[in-house]
Amino acid sequence: MNRLLFSIFCVLSGFIAKAQQNDSVMIRRIANEIFVNGKAYGNLHTLTKTVGGRMNGSPQTYKAEAWAQKALQDAGAEKVWLQQCTIPHWVRGGKEVVKMITGKKETPLNVLALGNSVGTGTKGITAPVILVNSFDELEQRKNEVKGKIVFYNYKFNSTFVHTFYSYVDAVRYRGAGASRAAKYGAVAVLVRSMTHSTDNNPHTGAMGYNDSFPKIPALAVGLWDADKLAAAISQDKKVQLYVKTNAHTLPDTIGYNVIGEIKGSEFPDQYITVGGHLDSWDPAEGAHDDGTGCVHAIEVLRVFKALHYQPKHSLRVVLFTDEENRGSGATKYAQEAKEKKETHIFAMESDAGGFTPRGFSFSMAPEKLEKIRAWIPLLQEYGVFEFQQGFGGADTEPLNNEFGTPVAELLPDSQRYFDYHHSSNDVFENVNKRELELGAINMTALIYLVDQYGL
Ligand SMILES: [Zn+2]
């Protein structure tokens, strides 16, 4: 290297070192603000305890939208507005009942109807049950299915370290199990809950019907009762089930994305979006799924205002409607962005729980991701040590599909998430304040870095 090049190299390295030092100071300020004056935990308390579960079309949907507007205003959003969406409206219609009938004995099982499923009518259905461990077994035994209730006893795979892989592996039984059984004449299905929790709470979630086959009721059963039913079937081939659910679907209704914004100082027409989803299932309060994501996103905006950091790009917090069912909030947000010819440079969401952060999952060009891995040392102190290529999040992916916007999702430790997910355990008390705050710190820090340096 000649002397001139060497001098340029030294000056540039100096700049880079200086920038990193400034960034590390800024990220420390972000962390201190959240640890000392953080509002995420308090916001989550209000959302979960005064609004509660927020199923599409429920009165809580509209209470949550009002809460979100106020929370964004209080956080310092310069503009807050609602974006109207058409959302599905499924109702549980009261407590569902499933009883295992062996001889003259009736044993109630802990169950929840699946989202979008149909009911049985007021009398319910009594039919013999057939246990299958997989779709392969269903196909092998398809001639035995007619007139029966199919019990999918597919177990959550415990060998995956990252539990979302177990979920993706098992959730097809919840999503498609009813129609696959109805194809062979089944009258209802019962699905082992998607969890490896040690309790007996059933876990609900969305399912869908294939219009080519009759729509039959579908319910999830808690793990203890799934094992109890499996044991009974192994001893007595004549086990029957009584099933009664009042679940039904009403016409589509209106829901809103709630959006808060601060204008960028240099590139006001270029947007960075950060979000979570406002809707939840109904057995509990939607704390980890996805109250924590909503309060994380609000906290990013609040911290920028509190630290008097005016971002170069416009920052939008979007609390999406209807993630759990049809994703209509996310679709609408990307659609309107396209109509308005907006420029979206980055979007991030938090929808994997309020647990200790470990990393971020990105959907973006590999060479860009490689470049920003240089930021990891800045976040390591706060728990993030991994930027992986992968899924960028259900609510941000439409921006990626529409514009190629790089998108990311916070990756917290996943070990406890499916203990709570879509069950009666998903309550405020199961969220740890410090872990929640660490998520907000890393999200704010990453958005700060993207705002400073782009992608
Ligand atoms: Zn969610």
Neighbours of 30 (CB within 10 A): 26
**Ligand 1 midpoint to CA 395 (Å):** 9
Quote the pLDDT of residue 2: 60
Quote the pLDDT of residue 236: 86
**Ligand 1 midpoint to CA 323 (Å):** 7
pLDDT at 47 over 70: yes
**Local confidence band at 237 (pLDDT 50, 70, 90 cut-offs):** confident
The per-residue pLDDT for range 435-451, each reduced to its tens digit, is 999 999 999 999 999 99
Quote the pLDDT of residue 4: 57
pLDDT at 250 over 90: yes
Q: How far is CA 295 from the centre of its chain?
A: 13
**Local confidence band at 285 (pLDDT 50, 70, 90 cut-offs):** very high
The per-residue pLDDT for range 329-386, each reduced to its tens digit, is 999 999 999 999 999 999 999 999 999 999 999 999 999 999 999 999 999 999 999 9
Q: What is the mean pLDDT of the chain?
A: 95
The per-residue pLDDT for range 75-126, each reduced to its tens digit, is 999 999 999 999 999 999 999 999 999 999 999 999 999 999 999 999 999 9
pLDDT at 389 over 60: yes
Question: Across residues 259-274, what is the average pLDDT?
Answer: 98
Quote the pLDDT of residue 3: 59
The per-residue pLDDT for range 148-179, each reduced to its tens digit, is 999 999 999 999 999 999 999 999 999 999 99
**Local confidence band at 6 (pLDDT 50, 70, 90 cut-offs):** low
Quote the pLDDT of residue 20: 72
Strands 313-320 and 248-262: antiparallel
Least confident residue range of 13-27, 35-49, 231-245? 13-27
Cα distance between residue 124 and residue 217, in whole Å: 10
**Ligand 1 midpoint to CA 352 (Å):** 7
Cα distance between residue 59 and residue 358, in whole Å: 36
Quote the pLDDT of residue 409: 98
Cα distance between residue 455 and residue 451, in whole Å: 9
Which has the closest alpha carbon to 442: 260, 274, 272, 268?
Answer: 274
pLDDT at 316 over 70: yes
Angle at CA of residue 422, ends 419 and 428, nearest 5°: 75
**Ligand 1 midpoint to CA 326 (Å):** 12
Longest dimension (CA), the chain: 94
Q: What percent of the chain has pLDDT over 90?
A: 95
Quote the pLDDT of residue 261: 98
**Local confidence band at 243 (pLDDT 50, 70, 90 cut-offs):** very high
Quote the pLDDT of residue 21: 80
**Ligand 1 midpoint to CA 37 (Å):** 26
Q: How far is CA 373 from the centre of its chain?
A: 25
**Ligand 1 midpoint to CA 25 (Å):** 33
Active-site residue numbers? 323
Q: 40: which residues sit within 8 A by CB, 6+ positions away?
A: 34, 292, 295, 296, 298, 299, 436, 437, 440
**Ligand 1 midpoint to CA 415 (Å):** 16
Quote the pLDDT of residue 447: 98
**Ligand 1 midpoint to CA 399 (Å):** 18
